[in-house]
Amino acid sequence: MLKPRAVYGPEHEMFRDAVRGFIRAEITPHFERWEREGIVDRSYWQAGGRAGLLCPQVPEAYGGPGGSFKYNCIVVEEIGYAGYAGPMTDFSVHSDVCAGYLLNAGTEEQKRKWLPRLVSGETVCAIAMTEPGAGSDLQGLRTRATRDGDRLRVNGAKTFISNGQHCDLVIVVARTSDAPGAKGMSLVLVEADRPGFRRGRNLHKLGHLSSDTSELFFDDVEVPLSHIMGAEGSGFATLMSELPQERLIIAFQSMAAAQRAFDVTCEYVRGRKAFGQPLADFQNTRYKLADLKADLQVGWAFADQCLERHLRHELSALDASTAKLWCTEMHGRMVDQCLQFFGGYGFMREYEICRLYADARVQRIYGGTSEIMRELIARNL
């Protein structure tokens, strides 16, 4: 179990208990099937809404509980620590990323229409940035939203979109003008029931198996001009102001999963005997685990500090990049070194450490690769 930390008060710990109860009742019984099927049940979303786990930061005026982003962190920490990376990412993209865009960049009308539905789970939201030919290089995006009278016509293809099969609403990053570079970019809300919207394959991944990551196609999809979020051409600026929150939450995802890997490993090495003694007694085991424990302590301290800063609106792009880079790289080292102690069992999917290892690899890639994080940090030097 994750230990209480100074960043949280008693009200947060009560919420944490509720999240744990939700995981036991709504994820654990179905998780293996979801991993096999490559997708969670739709009822998982409604259950999350009923239990108050979706978009806890959304104010009451928009149908939310009006909590702080700490509650978002708790949801991610607990589902991540339970080892359920797929369901964790599903909620995280919806609550921590998409709802953030709506709250901070949406028009009043957009917020009133969509936020209550995101909170209840009636609407599942996705954000479509990456394209087959452009990932880290957002300015290289090709999807276009072209003005046609009082409508926009959206054309293009997106890939690696989390919630791609379940989503009812997609925040599409598209080019609305030929203005060079970032200036021509806008965020456009596209409902999945509009003609011309098509879901591609549910992609087969190395890990996060129960998360529906998909291609999405937009073939002359018509939306009213009022579907542009904020001002036309403001898309890139919005991305820049929202990405730190996404990177912070990915740091928390990695901390929780790394802590889980460490805890299951400590338990395993105590029980597993080789050469007449528990693995835990070998000096190699003890020293390796000591290094990993130190990594966890440092990581939590930094992540929590960033969370406090975020709540004070002081989290810089540099802080967020540092947290994402360090925590996800540490997560990668953690699962690799932990798996080694499990010997052959570590390679078997029925062992949790195996799944944790496969799930971990994407953390250094999505939400901005480690290379992009280094680039952002280096620019600030």
- Positions annotated as catalytic residues are 246
Written as six digits, the tokens of 114 are: 């969509």
Kindly state whether residue 49 participates in binding another protein, applying the rule CB under 8 A: no
Task: For residues 82 and 75, give the distance between their C-alpha atoms in angstroms, rounded to a whole number.
Answer: 11
Q: Is 253 in the site for another protein (CB under 8 A)?
A: no
CB-count exposure of residue 34 (10 Å: 0-12, 13-18, 19+): buried
Among residues 68, 104, 155, 370, which is the contact residue for another protein, using CB under 8 A? 370
Binding of residue 365 to another protein (CB under 8 A): yes
What is d(CA 225, CA 234) in angstroms, rounded to the nearest whole number?
Answer: 14
> Distance between CA 87 and CA 79 in Å, rounded?
7
Contact flag: residue 156 with another protein (CB under 8 A): no
Work out whether 358 is an interface residue with another protein (CB under 8 A). Answer: yes
Applying CB under 8 A, the site for another protein has a residue count of: 48
DSSP at 363: G
CA distance 222 to 238: 23
290 binds another protein, rule: CB under 8 A: no
4 in Cβ contact with 13 (< 8 Å): yes
Interface pattern 303-342 for another protein (x via CB under 8 A)? -----------------------------x---x--xx--
Residue 248 is a binding residue for another protein (CB under 8 A): no
Full 3-state SS string of 270-317: HHCEECCEEHHHCHHHHHHHHHHHHHHHHHHHHHHHHHHHHHCCCCCH
Applying CB under 8 A, which part among 9-17, 183-191, 310-318, 346-354 lies near another protein?
346-354
Identify which range of 53-61, 126-134, 256-264, 318-326 contacts another protein by CB under 8 A.
Answer: 126-134
Using rule CB under 8 A, residue 275 touches another protein? yes
What's the DSSP call for residue 172? E
Residue 279 sits in the site that holds another protein (CB under 8 A) = yes
Nearest-approach distance from CB 207 to another protein, in angstroms: 7
> What does R_g of the chain's alpha carbons equal in angstroms?
21
For another protein, the closer CB: 120 or 163: 163
Binding site for another protein (CB under 8 A): 130, 133-137, 139-140, 159-160, 203-207, 273-275, 277, 279, 281-285, 332, 336, 339-340, 343-344, 346-350, 354, 357-358, 361-362, 364-366, 369-371, 374
